[in-house]
């Protein structure tokens, strides 16, 4: 393999063109075979439901190169299943799990030279998405769908990698309400979250922490990741019907249990901020990002000293990394080598 000539250790989390993407069409009640293409543009009817009624969902996952030079997926099946749950909620045609997995394998193999080398800290980000493409003007679901996956090599989501970030409690803008779509990965949730995130960045924070929409008392999640905190031997993370159920969080909670920690998934009140010792964000892009501080109004709560993550957050990060990068054992069979 002739690896792409890129500065892999210094990649940003940003889009770049690769060799190809893959596309499947759903029409006449069935899925097409799937086609790899070099075309980075799509042509669709101007009245497609994705364009004006937001019938769009997506996923995010990563491909890691192992020390032995082979490449692997991490919990691919979970992304496939969540993609189906997202589709169901927006009355879109769910992509069968087998097609989802096959599509990821095909597009990754076709772009093998863009998978960053082991040790660079970078990985190949995989972005599947599904679009309603029937022309409609009444509010009703599409009959036809387009399923696309593009890939792009990426570095850390937050510039400095495993370095603590500052979060701000968002007291005005709400991300999602009970009964809504906060628990699925649809583009609309991200469109709605941009003004909060950009507002926080202007104030010098990396991201916001959203609150529950009903009472404004409980922590929901961050704009692009779930939240957790450490108190003594406890791993504490919000239970909420309005957050995306993070596959990273599910995995790290299991790792925490196996480290002998107690996992509490329950409503987490803002009043608890003062009692936490460490905190972090969890997500595919964010991996585990340590939280340096959470600012709530005029109070700042600190969870990292001298810009360094605490011991529990660091241990969880190392254990997760060892599995994702194929350095150590994979006791849960979360990874799969792409042959």
Q: Angle at the Cα of 293 (from 291 to 298), degrees rounded to 5? A: 155
Identify which of residues 228 and 301 has a Cβ nearer to ligand COI in the complex: 228
Phi and psi at residue 116, to the nearest 5°: -60, 145
237: partner contacted, choices ligand PLP, ligand COI, none (Cβ within 5-8 A by kind):
none
246: partner contacted, choices ligand COI, ligand PLP, none (Cβ within 5-8 A by kind):
ligand PLP
The total number of residues shown for the chain amounts to 339
326 lines the binding site for ligand COI (CB under 6 A): no
Give the interface segment with ligand PLP, choosing from 36-44, 49-57, 93-101, 220-228 (CB under 6 A).
220-228
Number of residues that bind ligand COI (CB under 6 A): 5
283 lines the binding site for ligand COI (CB under 6 A): yes
34 lines the binding site for ligand COI (CB under 6 A): no
Q: Check if the beta carbon of residue 244 is closer than 8 Å to that of residue 184.
A: yes
Other CB atoms closer than 10 Å to residue 57's CB: what's the count? 30
Find the Cα–Cα–Cα–Cα dihedral 319, 321, 322, 324, rounded to 10°: 120
Among 146, 247, 256, 304, binds ligand PLP (CB under 6 A): 247
283 lines the binding site for ligand PLP (CB under 6 A): yes
Identify which of residues 93 and 183 has a Cβ nearer to ligand PLP in the complex: 183
284 lines the binding site for ligand COI (CB under 6 A): yes
**What is the closest distance, in whole angstroms, from the C-beta atom of residue 25 to ligand PLP in the complex?**
25
* Closest among 124, 116, 131, 129 to 15, alpha carbons compared: 124
Question: Both tokens of residue 303?
Answer: 């969870």
Among 123, 284, 289, 324, binds ligand PLP (CB under 6 A): 284
Among 22, 103, 213, 244, binds ligand PLP (CB under 6 A): 244
* Closest among 232, 277, 240 to 256, alpha carbons compared: 232
* Closest among 64, 195, 59, 181 to 118, alpha carbons compared: 64
Identify which of residues 251 and 284 has a Cβ nearer to ligand COI in the complex: 284
Q: Check if the beta carbon of residue 25 is closer than 8 Å to that of residue 146.
A: yes
Between CA 266 and CA 170 the distance in angstroms is 20
221 lines the binding site for ligand PLP (CB under 6 A): yes
Between CA 55 and CA 124 the distance in angstroms is 26
Would you call 89 a catalytic residue per the annotation?
Answer: no
Among 73, 248, 289, 295, binds ligand PLP (CB under 6 A): 248
Catalytic residue of the set 62, 185, 312, 319: 185
Identify which of residues 133 and 208 has a Cβ nearer to ligand PLP in the complex: 208
Residue 81 neighbours by CB under 8 Å, 6+ apart: 97
Phi and psi at residue 112, to the nearest 5°: -50, -40
Secondary-structure percent of the chain, ordered helix, strand, coil, rounded to 5: 25, 30, 45
Give the interface segment with ligand PLP, choosing from 94-102, 106-114, 281-289, 327-335 (CB under 6 A).
281-289
**What is the closest distance, in whole angstroms, from the C-beta atom of residue 312 to ligand COI in the complex?**
22
Q: Please, which of residues 41-60 interact with ligand COI by CB under 6 A?
A: 60
List contacts with ligand COI (CB under 6 A). 60, 224, 283-285
Catalytic annotation, residues: 185
């Amino acid at each position: 393999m002739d690896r792409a000539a890129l500065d892999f250790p210094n990649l940003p989390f940003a889009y770049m063109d690769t060799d190809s993407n893959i596309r499947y069409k759903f029409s006449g009640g069935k899925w097409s075979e799937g086609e790899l293409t070099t075309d980075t543009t799509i042509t669709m009817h101007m009245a497609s439901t994705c364009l004006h009624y937001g019938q769009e969902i997506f996923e995010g996952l990563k491909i890691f190169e192992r020390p032995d030079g082979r490449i692997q997926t991490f919990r691919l099946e979970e992304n496939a299943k969540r993609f189906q749950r997202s589709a169901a909620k927006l009355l879109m045609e769910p992509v069968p799990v087998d097609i989802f997995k096959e599509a990821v394998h095909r597009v990754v193999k076709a772009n093998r030279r863009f998978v960053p080398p082991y040790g660079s800290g970078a990985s190949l980000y995989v972005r599947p998405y599904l679009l309603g493409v029937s022309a409609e003007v009444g509010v009703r679901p599409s009959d036809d769908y387009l399923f696309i996956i593009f890939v792009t090599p990426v570095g850390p989501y937050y510039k400095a990698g495993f370095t603590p970030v500052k979060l701000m409690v968002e007291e005005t803008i709400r991300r999602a309400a009970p009964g809504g779509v906060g628990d699925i990965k649809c583009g609309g949730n991200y469109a709605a979250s941009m003004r909060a995130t950009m507002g926080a960045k202007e104030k010098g924070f990396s991201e916001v922490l959203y609150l529950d929409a009903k009472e404004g008392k409980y922590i929901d999640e961050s704009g692009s990741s779930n939240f957790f905190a450490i108190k003594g031997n406890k791993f504490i993370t919000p239970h909420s019907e309005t957050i995306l159920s993070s596959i990273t969080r599910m995995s790290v909670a299991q790792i925490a249990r196996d480290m002998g920690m107690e996992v509490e998934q329950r409503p987490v009140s803002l009043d608890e901020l003062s009692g936490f010792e460490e905190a972090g964000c969890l997500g595919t892009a964010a991996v585990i990002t340590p939280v340096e501080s959470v600012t709530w109004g005029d109070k700042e709560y600190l969870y990292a000293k001298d810009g360094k993550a605490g011991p529990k957050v660091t241990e969880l990060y190392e254990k997760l990394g060892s599995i994702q990068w194929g350095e150590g054992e994979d006791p849960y069979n979360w990874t799969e080598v792409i042959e």
